[in-house]
Amino acid sequence: MPHWPGRHLGQSGMGIPNPNETSSEGICLGQHALVTGAAGFIGSHVSEAMLGRGWGVTGLDSFDDFYSPAVKRRNLANALANRRFRLIEGDIRDRGTVDRAIEGADIVVHLAARAGVRPSIEQPLLYQDVNVTGTSVLLESARQRGLARFIFASSSSVYGNNPKVPFSEDDNVDHPISPYAATKKAGELICHTYHHLFGMDVTCLRFFTVYGPRQRPDLAIHKFARLIEQGKSIPMYGDGGMMRDFTYIDDIVAGVLAAIERCGGYHIYNLGNSKPVALRDLIAAIERAVEKNAVIERLPPQPGDVERTYADLTRVRAELGFEPKTDLAVGLRRFVTWLREQEAA
């Protein structure tokens, strides 16, 4: 059953908010968003941020077992305590569920996906079904209800092994090297089709290696910090020279909010830190944050892994005013503090 208290209540909890009223952050109060993947890492943070700015939010999540559903439910604790949040459990591929979830929404913030490069190589059909079919179902439901604004979470993985750095939104992305990356490129194309044919306003956001509190337990920073804390070995694929543009969750959320506020036409933006870090240097930084030395297990490179990611922020700075603010060392300290609080709970 959905958790659905007080969809039309404003921040004070009294009455229906003026739809023309705006918050200090410039976001209109009284509007309502459908956030898919709301119980996930990024989705739960985005939902909380929107609630904090006066939005009503419907969170749609399937609570699949890619990682612990109990962890995802903990992610939503703060949102569920808010009277302007409702939760619908269901699959983005199910048209009836999506139609119910989208009812009353002013915008879709589509963050749900089957995630991960390496698992997509093992289950390519599942990734295509969830990521491509699910996105199509959401777009079609939005179109039939006259909903004009749609935010799509894409990925830096669409750039593949692009030899040109930093990666610009105008770069050719016709050569993805994993099924996951291919599904994200496909999602961008489907979104463009709906903009072209039906005039839907769509913004695609290419996220660059997001980390911070609530990060998925299978991702490098979470896995490495946990294993180092426990005195266990950590896997390092290749020679440690692989580079990633690690971007703190608060900066990503700020970019998503800016995209929501200015969603119009069809646009693609990079959301990254624009400061790529080599894997060996990341491990050293985590060691400093945890204050313990890592035991490294050296393994061969993995298929589907790109050599580096590096975001060109020229366009997003100019058009959305996006500017990452969180240094890696600061973000890692915050993450380790959160991790220890979770383990102590």
Catalytic residue among 180, 211, 266, 269: 180
d(CA 205, CA 261): 14
d(CA 217, CA 290): 16
d(CA 103, CA 16): 18
Q: Does the N-terminal peptide bond of residue 166 adopt cis geometry, omega within 30 degrees of 0?
A: yes
d(CA 10, CA 29): 8
Q: Which residues lie closer than 8 Å to 83 by C-beta, 6 or more apart?
A: 5, 6, 9, 13
CB 203 within 8 A of CB 152: yes
φ, ψ (nearest 5 deg) of residue 43:
-60, -40
Per-residue H/E/C for 36-102: ECCCCHHHHHHHHHHHHCCCEEEEEECCCCCCCHHHHHHHCHHHHCCCCEEEEECCCCCHHHHHHHH
| H helix or E strand, kind and range, residue 334 | helix 328-344
CB 87 within 8 A of CB 3: yes
Active site residue 266: no
DSSP lists the bridge partners of residue 297 as: 235
3-state secondary structure of 201: strand
CB 116 within 8 A of CB 126: no
| H helix or E strand, kind and range, residue 223 | helix 220-229
- Using the Cα atoms of residue 98, residue 45, residue 322 and residue 17 in order, give the sign of their dihedral: positive
The residues carrying an active-site annotation are: 180
